[in-house]
Amino acid sequence: MASIEKRGKNSYRLSVVIGYESDGTPIRERKTVKAKNPTEARKLLTLFEAEILQGQYVQIEEKMTLSRFFEKEWLEKYANDSNNLTPDTRQNYINIMEKRVLPKYGHMKLADLKTIHIVNFMNDLKKDGKRLDGKEGSLSPSTIANCYRAFNNVLSRAAEWKLIKENPAVGVKPPKVRIKKSDVYSDEEVSKLLSCLEEKPFHWKVLILLAIATGAREGEIAALEWKHIDFEKGTIDIEQSLTEVVGEGVRLKTTKNERNRKVSIPDHVVAMLKKLKIQRSHEKLLVGDMNQWPNHFFIFANEFGKPIRPDSISQWWKRFTTKYKLRHIRFHELRHTSATFLINAGVHPKVIQERLGHADISTTMNVYGHVLYEADQAAANHFDSFFSKKGSEK
């Protein structure tokens, strides 16, 4: 049952009965529209009724602004649930929304946001002077794409929760992010690195060798506990990561993409870990009840059991490479060094994917495609040498 009610000049309220209460009171869905006359209003009523019957009608909160939705809905009901976003991603999205999106669009009603607004937002980010660090130049494609992901995530929740009919960001394409060729160490540079490590504290040597041997991320290395080491089988379980949350300090989380994995480690590294465990166990005994993480026994921690912060690993690495005049690459690129070494050794990409914890082998192929291509060329050259040799024997 549907009806129209004149509310003012060229204004009509459409009403459609969608059900009944237990006492027989009708439940109505209402919508106020502008129409020139009753005939036009009845046409709109027919469309309104059809939308409801087909389940396509969304009751839009007309007064809900983007800022209000972000603060009262998205933050409280979505972002604060650790099952939805990692702490790093959550903080990153909040920073983008608060510093880039809300100052410009926060006052706008959700229902008024159109695709063109998202297009304008993306185009504006491409202009010079948009960096927040005060440096000259434009934002990188990856930064712009990240800004899109944050804005899109918020609008997706609004559409998902039926506050808007559709997400206006869906029709916008973020810039393509080119995967940079990884900067890795050569065999000679790794040898020099190992030589320089002989002068550093033993736990740092173990940490760096683990990074190269396993390809683990710095957060995963910081989160390693002794329970993750199987000394008999020579394996290590990578099943958690450590992150630093603003205002909360360090805390454990799942690995990226929740890709837990078991990685074999060299006998030499196993022997070093055994030696380090004796040292750590002695420290734990001396500290006793003063242990700051009594339910955990981290491999890389201070004498009170507090795990090393992931960012302090990168900071130490920067100081180390500078002091010993090593060519500086990011600590994360020891992960790429590990993968490149395995590729050049002829290890199958599927094995490398599992060791690195990539969700899909296509990720491995995209990131290390150039290295795989070079290894393939080297393999072809072996055939050239073989065929040339056989030809000369005739």
Instruction: Report the percent of the chain where pLDDT is more than 70.
Output: 88
In the predicted model, is pLDDT for residue 281 greater than 90? yes
Mean pLDDT of 53-74: 76
pLDDT of 268 higher than 80: yes
pTM value is: 0.65
pLDDT at 244: 81
| Three-state SS at 204 | helix
Distances (CA, A) of 213 to 99, 137, 293: 40, 38, 27
Selection from 341, 338, 344 nearest residue 374 by Cα: 344
Looking at residue 179, what is its pLDDT? 61
pLDDT tens profile 282-334: 999 999 899 999 999 999 999 999 999 999 999 999 999 999 999 999 999 99
Encode pLDDT of 361-378 as tens digits: 666 766 666 665 565 565
Mean pLDDT of the chain: 86
**Integer distance in angstroms from the first to the last C-alpha of the chain?**
95
Q: Are strands 26-34 and 261-264 parallel, antiparallel or unpaired?
A: unpaired
Q: Which of these, 58, 74, 141, lies nearest to 106 by C-alpha position?
A: 74
4 to 36, 43, 152, 302: CA distances (angstroms): 13, 10, 37, 73
How much is the pLDDT for 376? 59
CATH number for the segment(s) 187-375: 1.10.443.10
139-192 pLDDT, tens per residue? 989 999 999 999 999 999 999 988 888 999 998 998 887 766 668 888 899 999
What SS3 state is found at 144?
helix
Whether the Cβ atoms of residue 66 and residue 40 lie closer than 8 Å to each other: no
In the structure encoding, which two tokens stand for residue 89, read together? 């991603």
Quote the CA–CA distance of 222 and 204 in Å, as a whole number. Answer: 12
**Confidence band of 20 (pLDDT split at 50, 70, 90):** confident
